[in-house]
């Protein structure tokens, strides 16, 4: 979906926050009315992934690891998978803290 909005600083910040909050790129694109590929390229360049994106990347790396014969490439795939698992872990911690704040505010 081509749109008239450029990915300015404000939209980049919103896209990054939404991705870190676990929103899929398709939802970010719908909300911000910016081209999907533009958002994907930006988020990938800064290392911000949606939960679904991080899970998909991890799954692809692990599947590739099984069939890869080059030792250096296997290590690279393992490192990338480890990075994504760490990313999901720390994002989960962050979400848990946010949920605790919401619960306390509702009490």
CB 85: neighbour CB atoms within 10 A? Answer: 15
pTM of structure = 0.71
CB 91: neighbour CB atoms within 10 A? Answer: 19
Residue 76 dihedral angles phi and psi, to the nearest 5°: -60, -45
pLDDT at 2 > cutoff 50: no
Q: Which residues of 27-59 are buried (b: 16+ CB within 10 A; e: fewer)?
A: ebbeebebbeebbbebbeeeebbbbebbeebbe
pLDDT at 3 > cutoff 60: no
Instruction: Say if residues 20 and 14 touch (Cβ distance below 8 Å).
Output: no
CB 15: neighbour CB atoms within 10 A? Answer: 25
Q: What is the pLDDT of residues 33-46, one digit of tens each?
A: 999 999 989 998 99
Model pLDDT, residue 5: 53
Q: What is the pLDDT of residues 56-103, one digit of tens each?
A: 999 999 999 999 999 999 999 999 999 999 999 998 898 899 889 999
């Amino acid at each position: 979906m081509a749109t008239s909005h450029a990915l300015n600083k404000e939209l980049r910040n919103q896209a990054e926050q939404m991705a870190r909050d676990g929103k899929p790129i398709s939802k970010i694109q719908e909300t911000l009315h910016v081209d999907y590929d533009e958002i994907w390229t930006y988020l990938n360049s800064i290392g911000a992934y949606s939960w679904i994106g991080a899970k998909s990347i991890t799954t692809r790396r692990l599947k590739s690891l099984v069939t890869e014969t080059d030792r250096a490439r296997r290590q690279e795939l393992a490192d990338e998978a480890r990075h994504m698992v760490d990313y999901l872990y720390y994002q989960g911690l962050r979400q848990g803290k946010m949920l605790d704040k919401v619960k306390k505010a509702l009490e």
